[in-house]
Chain A
């Protein structure tokens, strides 16, 4: 039983470059979440999916951020025209059930993005 995996683990991008971060949730998990964790801070919510439906994207900081989960499994977080303030660890989490209860979220190891 593999946990949540994310790739790449590290990404260095030049300012203005587009990046794509991948999340493989635990098999069968319905809900998938993306969080952004700045250095020395707690994670902050970006967006979440229930199966393939993106139910909340209120945490995405700008229209340069876009997330998808087309088949209700793997998810990709895309950042266009990266800026230095986008440098952070991007965490993906999945949970077994539909959002609303006290379902445990299982976190991946994160992708550390550095924008130069």
Chain B
């Protein structure tokens, strides 16, 4: 079974601060996805990283896939209250998605 571990589990920061969320596994994944989930809603896909060492940027969000394709990180620059939510990493495994436990981010104004 491929497992994904996310850290930290909880993060509470002030508006304008930077933060990094980590997603680690002992297994190699063909790709990794990052989702954001708001209360009462399903996860929404932010990005898919495919190539080892790949870096993708989405406005203030920067996603990186580790060279060995076992880990990934999400960096948010100048966080805003609208970034508040549950951030999930997920990897495909025999068709279904294996999710990490999530990082719950709260950005205070």
Query: Residues of A with Cβ closer than 8 Å to B?
Result: 4, 31, 33, 35, 40-45, 48, 55-56, 59, 91, 93, 99-100, 102, 104-110, 112
Contacts and interface: CB of A to CB of B under 8 A. Distances in A.
Contacts of B6: 42
Interface hub of B42, B45, B97 (most chain A Cβ within 10 A): B42
Nearest to A99: B95
A56 B94 contact: yes
Contact of A100 (B41, B90, B95): B95
Interface size class of B (residues with CB under 8 A): 20 to 34
A70 to B, nearest CB: 21
Contact of B95 (A40, A42, A43, A55): A55
B92 A48 contact: no
Nearest to A112: B40
Interface stretch (B53-61, B65-73, B77-85, B98-106): B98-106
